[in-house]
């Protein structure tokens, strides 16, 4: 966006299509699309391609809607934090009430359409996910407890479970493990970010662990949650979604992730500031790869199974 257009936008106060689209947090939506699609494709049973496409799309719209509700409620703290200050509502491009209207409308639409396209279990899980993210996390936990990320992380963990429910109409050990993988991955991923973005949360008064308990405790928590994450990740290899490919990938990634968490744990602030949080930033980048490759491996197992290669 050019400076000129930005100035005009401020004068007219009218948002463009891209500004409304940004309300739906497209980057989060892309992760939701990927994990929900993997959950759906890894599940036993065939789903018509159009039904699968529509279902994943409605799951993504539901996730985007909860993002818009989050932007409506958090406009005040988003404006204070550097990372979020340019979001459409704090930037003054989109009205907060518009964000609420778009979020609420798309939430209802996504749940109803998912129920029509697939089944009530999937739609119920999507409705619960939206409620959990918008109400339990955004309105309640985020400003109240330093464990906000831990419990709120559940909202981001539901998409593969919803995808699985689209195909099977239910919940199983495999879908719970995919949920647990994202759920246990979220705290170390986010706390690593907090370690090098601490001032942002402090300025906004968000009780992140780094703000309430300090960085030493946060470093310990990153290592502890990573240790708990390992058996979840490796354990999934021995279920219907796993196989030799997944197991190999999981062993390598968990070794790297554990080493990264250990490196974070043994450092102090002086060391971190000296190299501008290089280790923490590298761990954060690795965490993104960790989740993407895990779900990529689940997808590979599912795709190769018909050829006699995937699975055990």
* Site residues for another protein per CB under 8 A: 4-5, 8-9, 12, 14-18, 20-21, 48-51, 53-54, 57, 116-117
Residue nearer to another protein on the CB measure, 15 or 123:
15
Residue nearer to another protein on the CB measure, 30 or 203:
30
Q: How far is the CB of 17 from another protein (least distance, A)?
A: 3
Residue nearer to another protein on the CB measure, 68 or 237:
68
Q: How far is the CB of 266 from another protein (least distance, A)?
A: 50
Contacts for 284 with CB less than 8 Å, ≥ 6 apart: 189, 192, 193, 196
Q: How far is the CB of 55 from another protein (least distance, A)?
A: 9
Residue nearer to another protein on the CB measure, 5 or 248:
5
Q: How far is the CB of 27 from another protein (least distance, A)?
A: 19
Residue nearer to another protein on the CB measure, 51 or 286:
51
Q: How far is the CB of 186 from another protein (least distance, A)?
A: 30
How far is 176 from 127, CA to CA, in rounded Å? 17
Residue nearer to another protein on the CB measure, 12 or 270:
12
Q: How far is the CB of 15 from another protein (least distance, A)?
A: 7
Q: How far is the CB of 279 from another protein (least distance, A)?
A: 42
Contacts for 185 with CB less than 8 Å, ≥ 6 apart: 153, 229, 287, 290, 291
User: Of 41, 50, 57, whose CA–CA distance to 106 is shortest?
Assistant: 57
């Amino acid at each position: 966006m050019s400076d000129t257009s930005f100035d005009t936008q401020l004068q007219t106060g009218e948002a463009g299509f891209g500004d409304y689209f940004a309300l739906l947090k497209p980057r989060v939506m892309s992760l939701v699309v990927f994990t929900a699609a993997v959950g759906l494709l890894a599940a036993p049973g065939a789903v018509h391609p159009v039904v699968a496409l529509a279902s994943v799309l409605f799951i993504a719209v539901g996730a985007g809607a909860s993002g818009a509700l989050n932007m409506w409620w958090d406009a005040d703290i988003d404006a204070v934090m550097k990372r979020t200050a340019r979001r459409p509502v704090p930037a003054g491009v989109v009205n907060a009430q518009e964000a609420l209207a778009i979020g609420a409308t798309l939430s209802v639409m996504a749940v109803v359409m998912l129920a029509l396209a697939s089944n009530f279990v999937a739609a119920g899980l999507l409705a619960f996910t939206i409620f959990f993210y918008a109400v339990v996390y955004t309105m309640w936990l985020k400003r109240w407890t330093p464990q906000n990320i831990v419990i709120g992380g559940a909202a981001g963990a539901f998409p593969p479970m919803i995808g699985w429910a689209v195909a099977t109409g239910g919940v199983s050990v495999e879908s719970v493990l995919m949920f647990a993988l994202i759920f246990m991955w979220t705290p170390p991923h986010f706390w690593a970010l907090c370690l090098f973005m601490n001032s942002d949360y402090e300025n906004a008064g968000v009780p992140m662990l780094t703000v309430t308990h300090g960085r030493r405790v946060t470093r310990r928590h990153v290592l502890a949650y990573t240790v708990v994450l390992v058996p979840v990740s490796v354990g999934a290899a021995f279920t219907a979604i796993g196989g030799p490919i997944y197991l190999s990938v999981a062993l390598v990634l968990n070794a790297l992730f554990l080493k990264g968490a250990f490196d974070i744990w043994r450092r102090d602030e002086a060391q971190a500031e000296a190299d501008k949080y290089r280790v923490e930033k590298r761990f954060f980048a690795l965490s993104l790869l960790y989740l993407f490759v895990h779900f990529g491996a689940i997808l590979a197992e599912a795709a190769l199974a018909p050829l006699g290669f995937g699975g055990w």
